[in-house]
Structure 1
Amino acid sequence: MKALEMPLWSPGMMAVLAAQFFSALADNAILIVAIAIVRSQDYANLVPLLQESFVLPFILLAPFVGQVADGYPKGRVMLAANLLKLAAALIMAAGANPLTAYGLIGIGATIYSPAKYGILAQMFGAAALVRANGMIEGSTIVAILLGVILGGWLADHSMAWAFAGVIAAYGLATLANLFIPRLQAERIATGLRPWLLTRQFLVSLSLMFRNRDSRFSLLGTSVFWGSGTTLRLLLFAWVPAALLITDNRTPANLMGAVSIGIVLGAAAAGWWVSLRNVNRALLGGLLLGPLILALTFVHGLALAAILMIAIGTCGGLFVVPLNALLQERGHASIGSGKALAVQNFAENLAMLLFVGAYGWAVSAGAPVTMIIVAFGLVLLIVIAALAVFRWERA
């Protein structure tokens, strides 16, 4: 299906941006609130499990959500997903187990993600797709910035106000979804037949990994999000150890600093990187490992914030072009929704492995400095190997 070549600043794009902004703001605020709940109950060891309860649906539901995103109008799929997130926030506010409620939010996010990115490939052609992704990533990262800062601040002051803010944000996201253009479904819905869809998903997974560009994108974005998710959790252990600060706001604010950097990196990617010279994105990826290792020498809040912005900038420069590359290749082959479902599966499997390794290291009593060193070295080696393989086959 040919893209509609909409203007970047069309009302439809503004509705997508608004829906994504408020949904991402709520997703990140409620994570900080959930972390604050388990820490206040002296179950800090459950923090990695919170993140795993969120990413597990991305893996288990991957065969189905691509079919849903491609088989129905994507704006309506996004609406249904946000309604599920809103319901989950309400039951967490009512006292439900944070792991269960945050897992339901993960299900909503699993459904939402391929529709959110897939609709861009329907709205814009290849020439504008990197810029459209940059706008979405910029909106997302600003939302993450505000979400983690507001979530940390409100969780330290009033849980009631924290939940009120989260529920209001999900409500605004749902409202914005109503203004997204009702575009035609990319492919005819064939029904949710589990075994058939699982086989189709495995075929899609195989096709995406056989293609040189989509394989590069899948591996690169998976490493990025696996490491980024681990860094978010790691800050809650590193800040008390290195900066001697024990509140919820400081690690949340440092997460916000990473978000500022990703906005800068996304802007740089939109200006400096296109699908024709996408290998330039590797520069940002190669710098991530050394910057993580530099955390071991930081003991001041100002320097920590500067380093977090640098990490985010390199991350944005790395991941935004790879997202656009995958969407363009997926839209032209198996459908953007299925391609994004494959991407979500790969990325969240990486998150599960990274966070699982981090949780194992914490349970084994490894010092936070040792964890950071291992984390930075693994990241450096993996992205360097990806770069060498990519350049050799260029």
Structure 2
Amino acid sequence: MSLLVTGLGVVAPTGIGVEAHWESLLRGEHAIGPIEGFDPTQYGISLAGQVRGFDPDEHVAPQLKVQTDRWTWMSLAAATLAAEDAGYTAPEDVYATSVFLASGSGGNEFSQHEIQGLWARGPKAVGAYQSIAWFYAASTGQVSIRDGYKGPSGVVVSEGAGGLDSIGWARRVARRGTPAVLVGGTEAGMCPYALLCQATSGRLSAATRPEEAYLPFDRRANGHVVGEGGAILLVEEPGAARARGARQVWGEVAGYGATHDAHHHEDPAPDATQYARAIRLALADAGVSPDEVDLVVADGAGTPELDALELAAIGAVFGSRSTPVPVTAPSSWTGRLMAGGSALNVATALLAMRDGIVPGTAHLQQPVEAPGIDLVQSTRVQELRTVVVLARGAGGFNSSLVLRRDPAGEAA
């Protein structure tokens, strides 16, 4: 079942709002910088992609702000931006809109504050809101409550693949009769506790200069950089979108596929079989051949092992084409945002299709050998009709999404 993307809401290191994000990418502005808010020296990590200039008071009511964590503030803001972008107001039927967001780690900063209070002053220092602010479903619940969306809702927990998987769930919800769904997600893992949890993976870059950190598909790759933020999108059943007079259509969700390595909870499978299978499933679902794909927006893990596996998967699917498939990793400009990152990559892909511009991979100066693959090193002008977005989540999750320009020619 196809869905139309009618609204985009972005809160990311590259900017707040879809156009701010896009213009930052096109200018080649690195949104990765020194970590602010605490001293990360003891963790051996110094860089991150943080959302600077985000004032929650501009987006969240005071009584809601005290109950929620920074990641939920960002989801509330992005959900508002998406609805405004779509010109969407809650219909009279409160069950006509669902919220299906992704989450990777929940309310880290709120939880750390409460745990510090517990150990310093005892149980009475822990507030009642701790029970809900940390919860990985908090953003879905708070958006649904605030905006009165009572359709079937839920949360997807598949780490970095979650942003794509939420769209897969939206298709199920729409197939069962709910015409509009908010999808995507945000993350805010920038506090000592959250950074420590991520550092234990051994896959974070220890580089101290942004241009030397997080280099997907580069021979100098040395790990990734964490980031916060993400994107929320409004997707609608085509008939319902046109019936309400949707003022724009960013693109069509034409196909989706997901697999699991079933190998190990931390280590990736030694081959790319299941990752390639996820891509093939999405293409088959969309009725698209590998030759019809104009661009692949890659997961871009930034470690030599994971990058090699991703290129192997892409090569297995697209390697027999007459022309190499272009591949880019825009997350290299922002850091990896966990569940928010794949959602942001979908927004980036839709913007790329709108303007016919492919953003390059940041500081890709020494690309690894990738037969049959055209690694995009710098921004280029290119007509884009069909784009594949890829994502992986820690533990073996693999997801693939096929996007097409609006078939009715009503793209923004």
Fold equivalence (TM over 0.5): no
**Greater fraction helix:** 1
Using CA pairs under 8 Å that are at least 6 residues apart, name the structure with larger relative contact order, 1 or 2.
1
Normalising by the residue count of structure 1, what TM-score does the alignment of the two structures yield?
Answer: 0.31
Normalising by the residue count of structure 2, what TM-score does the alignment of the two structures yield?
Answer: 0.30
